[in-house]
């Protein structure tokens, strides 16, 4: 479908941060924009806020003054809802309340032409439910921007049960013309991002509750090994725990209390204590004027006389780590085996979802130390290690020394199934696979949504493929066996792909 041309007037209802941001996006794309808010003066304040933000870009030399003037000149605050009647696309960005939104949509149906597209920026309300009382629900589509709208690339184009494919296609093409990266999604709880992202927060919260290590260390591992932009605790502090906890509860309840979405007691306590994050100065971290962020737990320098690393079998995704150690002066000897590393008396292996203590007992290797997944072992600046209870202090020290020779900071974490990055990626891929199975979105759109909407280093399904056919399935199976909980049950599509020995893109 072709995009709406720039002669089409865009109306945005709601002049808060999100509505103003959407108005800015449309105006910068060349559209004349009506900005309306029922609060007196709010639309003008929204326009003024856009002007101030763009002026800062001009002052920094990132924008020309004439472009600012042209953008602001296209935005017209309007006092009455009737004034948006000639818009070709109306985007509502008002309070997340079903009844209030329904009333607005009913009013817009009466005011606007029959071919005007009505879009909702809702992040949590069913598009199908919003359209249920409309005369022409086929004209309603979700157009879910991410905050801040001018900076975030993703737009979820959400189709309700009655949404016209032509309407959805036009909005998708228009979002592309506006410089965004749109994806199609069906109107299911959480759409793509707010559903698939739940494990990113949930697994760090659970590891903290299980005392695997502290929040600062978990965040550092997520950033420095996983190459995520922020750790889960930094991100929830930024979002606000009231908001993040509410979304988690909404998804949990919408899916009939599926344990995959179980909220965290730790986050519940933070909300009850009023520790909401950056917005009020205290969450997992303190944000006062003199507050200092705690340092992650990092092992001091360990020493070892060992100089030879024996690589037993194919190291798989950890092959770049072996090359990094070779470049650091470690002698590498390769021989057949189960894909593990021997350095003196210690055996290092990539986590497969089992605890190190269990693997040590099962495989008859007392000095077993597991290492975590990294997005790119050739660049990771930190790795998590989990020693088996049977491992000697000397073996653990030897494992730390080996990684430190390659310039890797080591964080020892308690022995928990799947460590940190591996269980996070596995559960993200699991949720993404389930969403794909149920037709929420295509595999490619799910991956694009997670990268463009949350700045993930890779889409979870693409990352799953890079780990190898069946790998995530095996990890999840082992984690589920460890906890004996349905929370970690592998998605049917992961199971099928594992037995077919294929990936999501092959």
pLDDT band at 48 (very low <50, low <70, confident <90, very high): very high
Strand, coil or helix: what is 18? helix
- Nearest-angstrom CA–CA distance, 68 and 43: 18
The closest alpha carbon to 213, from 470, 416, 7, belongs to 416
- Nearest-angstrom CA–CA distance, 249 and 261: 8
Task: Report the sign of the C-alpha dihedral through residues 332, 336, 339, 345, in that order.
Answer: negative
Provide the angle, in degrees to the nearest 10, between the axes of the packed helices 443-454 and 421-437. Answer: 130
3-state per-residue secondary structure call for 419-485: CCHHHHHHHHHHHHHHHHHCCCCCHHHHHHHHHHHHCCCCCHHHHHHHHCCCHHHHHHHHHHHHHCC
**Beta pairing partners, 344:** none
Whether the predicted pLDDT of 291 surpasses 90? no
The closest alpha carbon to 326, from 336, 312, 311, 316, belongs to 311
pLDDT of 237 reads 96
At which residue do the structure tokens 């070709």 appear? 88
Strands 331-335 and 89-92: unpaired
Residue 346 zone, left/alpha/beta (φ > 0; ψ -120 to 50; rest): beta
Cis peptide before 148 (omega within 30 of 0): yes
CA within 13 Å, CB half, 318: 22
Residue 40 zone, left/alpha/beta (φ > 0; ψ -120 to 50; rest): beta
Entry pTM? 0.96
Element (H, E) at 131: helix 127-131
Query: What residues have CB less than 8 Å from 447, skipping those under 6 apart?
Result: 432, 458, 459, 460, 461, 462
97-130 burial, b for 16+ CB within 10 Å, e for fewer? Answer: eeeebbebbeebbebbeeebbbbbbbbbbbbbeb
Decide if 111 contacts 84 (C-beta within 8 A): yes
Using CB atoms within 10 Å of the CB of residue 287, give its burial: 0 to 12 exposed, 13 to 18 middle, 19+ buried.
middle
**268-to-205, 207, 272, 273, 490 alpha-carbon distances in Å:** 11, 16, 6, 9, 27
pLDDT of 289 reads 84
pLDDT band at 143 (very low <50, low <70, confident <90, very high): very high
Decide if 293 contacts 317 (C-beta within 8 A): no
Task: Please give the structure tokens belonging to residue 389.
Answer: 């209870």
CA within 13 Å, CB half, 86: 7
Element (H, E) at 493: helix 492-500
Strand order through the sheet with 346-350: 331-335, 308-312, 340-343, 346-350, 368-371, 382-387, 409-412
What pLDDT digit, counting tens, does each position of 350-408 carry? 999 999 999 999 999 999 999 999 999 999 999 999 999 999 999 999 999 999 999 99
What pLDDT digit, counting tens, does each position of 168-204 carry? 999 999 999 999 999 999 999 999 999 999 999 999 9
What pLDDT digit, counting tens, does each position of 148-159 carry? 999 999 999 999
What pLDDT digit, counting tens, does each position of 109-126 carry? 999 999 999 999 999 899
What percent of the chain has pLDDT above 70?
100
Q: What mean pLDDT is predicted for residues 243-262?
A: 95
CA within 13 Å, CB half, 84: 31
- Nearest-angstrom CA–CA distance, 347 and 396: 10
Domains of the chain, start order = 10-187 (3.40.50.720), 193-212+214-291+420-506 (1.10.1040.50), 308-412 (3.30.750.190)
Task: Please give the structure tokens belonging to residue 185.
Answer: 């999604």
Residue 89 zone, left/alpha/beta (φ > 0; ψ -120 to 50; rest): beta
pLDDT band at 309 (very low <50, low <70, confident <90, very high): very high
pLDDT band at 108 (very low <50, low <70, confident <90, very high): very high
pLDDT of 171 reads 98
pLDDT of 248 reads 95
Q: What mean pLDDT is predicted for residues 134-143?
A: 98
pLDDT of 290 reads 86
pLDDT of 1 reads 82
Task: Please give the structure tokens belonging to residue 193.
Answer: 């991002």
Residues catalogued as catalytic:
123, 144, 156, 194
Q: What is the mean pLDDT of the chain?
A: 97
Farthest CA pair distance, the chain: 81
What pLDDT digit, counting tens, does each position of 419-460 carry? 999 999 999 999 999 999 999 999 999 999 999 999 999 999
pLDDT of 288 reads 86
pLDDT band at 469 (very low <50, low <70, confident <90, very high): very high
- Nearest-angstrom CA–CA distance, 122 and 8: 23
Residue 160 zone, left/alpha/beta (φ > 0; ψ -120 to 50; rest): beta
pLDDT of 44 reads 97
Let me know how long the chain is: 506
**Beta pairing partners, 384:** 411
What pLDDT digit, counting tens, does each position of 124-133 carry? 899 999 999 9
pLDDT of 468 reads 96
What pLDDT digit, counting tens, does each position of 321-361 carry? 999 999 999 999 999 999 999 999 999 999 999 999 999 99
């Amino acid at each position: 479908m072709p995009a709406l041309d720039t002669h089409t007037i865009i109306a945005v209802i709601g002049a808060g941060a999100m509505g103003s941001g959407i108005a800015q996006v449309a105006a910068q794309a060349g559209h004349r924009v009506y900005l309306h808010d029922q609060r007196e003066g709010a639309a003008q304040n929204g326009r003024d806020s856009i002007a101030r933000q763009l002026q800062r870009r001009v002052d920094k030399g990132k924008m020309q003054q004439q472009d600012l003037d042209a953008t602001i000149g296209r935005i017209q605050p309007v006092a009455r809802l009737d004034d948006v009647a000639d818009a070709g696309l109306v985007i509502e960005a008002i309070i997340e309340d079903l009844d209030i939104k329904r009333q607005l949509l009913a009013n817009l149906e009466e005011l606007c032409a029959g071919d005007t597209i009505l879009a909702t920026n809702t992040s949590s309300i069913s598009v199908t439910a919003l359209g249920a009382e409309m005369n022409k629900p086929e004209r309603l589509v979700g157009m879910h921007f991410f905050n801040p709208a001018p900076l975030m690339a993703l737009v979820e184009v959400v189709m309700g049960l009655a949404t016209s494919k032509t309407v959805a296609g036009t909005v998708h093409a228009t979002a592309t013309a506006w410089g965004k990266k749109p994806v199609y999604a069906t109107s299911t709880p959480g759409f793509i991002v707010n559903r698939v992202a739940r494990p990113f927060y949930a697994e760090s919260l659970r590891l903290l509750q299980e005392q695997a290590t502290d929040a600062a260390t978990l965040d550092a591992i997520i950033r420095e090994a996983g190459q995520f932009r922020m750790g889960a605790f930094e991100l929830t502090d930024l979002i606000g725990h009231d908001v993040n906890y509410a979304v988690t509860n909404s998804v949990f309840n919408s899916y009939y209390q599926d344990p995959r979405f179980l909220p965290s007691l730790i986050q519940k306590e933070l909300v009850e204590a009023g520790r909401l994050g950056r917005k009020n100065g205290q969450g997992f971290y303190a944000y006062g004027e003199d507050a200092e962020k705690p340092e992650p737990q990092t092992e001091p320098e360990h020493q070892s006389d060992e100089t030879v690393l024996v690589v037993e079998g194919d190291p798989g995704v950890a092959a770049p780590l072996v090359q990094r150690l070779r470049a650091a002066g470690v002698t590498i000897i390769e021989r057949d085996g189960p894909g593990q590393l021997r350095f003196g008396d210690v055996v290092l292996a990539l986590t497969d979802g089992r605890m190190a203590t269990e693997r040590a007992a099962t495989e008859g290797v007392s000095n077993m130390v597991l290492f975590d997944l990294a997005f790119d072992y050739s660049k990771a600046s930190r790795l998590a290690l989990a020693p088996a209870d049977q491992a000697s202090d000397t073996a653990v020290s030897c494992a730390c020394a080996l990684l430190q020779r390659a310039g890797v900071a080591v964080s020892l974490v308690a022995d928990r199934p799947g460590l940190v990055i591996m269980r996070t990626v596995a559960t993200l891929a699991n949720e993404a696979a389930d969403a794909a199975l149920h037709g929420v979105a295509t595999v490619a759109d799910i991956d694009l949504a997670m990268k463009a909407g949350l700045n993930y280093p890779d889409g979870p399904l693409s990352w799953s493929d890079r780990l190898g056919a069946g790998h995530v399935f095996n990890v999840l199976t082992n984690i589920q066996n460890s906890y004996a909980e349905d929370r970690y049950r592998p998605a049917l599509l992961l199971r099928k792909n594992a037995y077919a020995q294929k990936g999501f893109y092959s």
